[in-house]
Amino acid sequence: MVRRMGLDRETLLIAAAELADESGLDNLTLSALAQKLGVRSPSLYNHVNGLPDLRSALAAYCIQHLVDLMRDAVIGKSGEEAILSLSTSYLTFARQRPGLYEAFYKIEASDSPETAKLGEQLLSIFIRVLEPYGLGEQNTLHTIRGLRSLLHGFASLEQNNGFQMKLDFDESLHFVMRAFLKGLESGA
């Protein structure tokens, strides 16, 4: 095995995310990661403290990408346009990075201060796009839970081939999102 020079935490996380995308988060092992990086497994411990730490770091890496994508998706938009754009970027991410996305919902945000901080940034994006609806703090948080559940449900069902009907997935999503938004507009 040829030792790879210049291994750092970022390189390790990129390779781990690629492995997770290829074969699923549950199949990500330190041995497989070391092989992909061309190093011996003990070398990974210079950058992570075992598999739980790697998965926690991967969750933070994922949330950072989601924050960046969603922030970019809503810049200059408000109301329905912002929520639809945020939703589309969320699902596009889940489609393009299935293993990395899996790290997002399988790791507790409280596992690390970094993950918790990034989770707060993600939450603030949702809060900002919902501000025009004037829902109040508690109802905004309930709405965010509902919206995240809706988006995660679509992402999860699509990834697991749960949509068997011959209907276009994106058309279904937009139909459901418009119904969700009508509910917000009516003050539900």
102 and 20 Cβ atoms separated by less than 8 Å:
yes
With a cut of 70, which residues of the chain have pLDDT below it?
1-5, 108-111, 187-188
Residue 95: count of CB within 10 angstroms of its CB: 13
Exposure of 110 by Cβ count < 10 A (0-12 exposed, 13-18 middle, 19+ buried)? exposed
103 and 25 Cβ atoms separated by less than 8 Å:
yes
Question: Beta-strand (E) ranges in the chain?
Answer: none
Residue 91, classed as helix, strand or coil, is: helix
Reading phi first (left if > 0) and then psi (alpha if -120 to 50, else beta), residue 127 is in alpha
Per-residue pLDDT tens digits for 6-61? 789 999 999 999 999 999 999 999 999 999 999 999 999 999 999 989 998 999 99
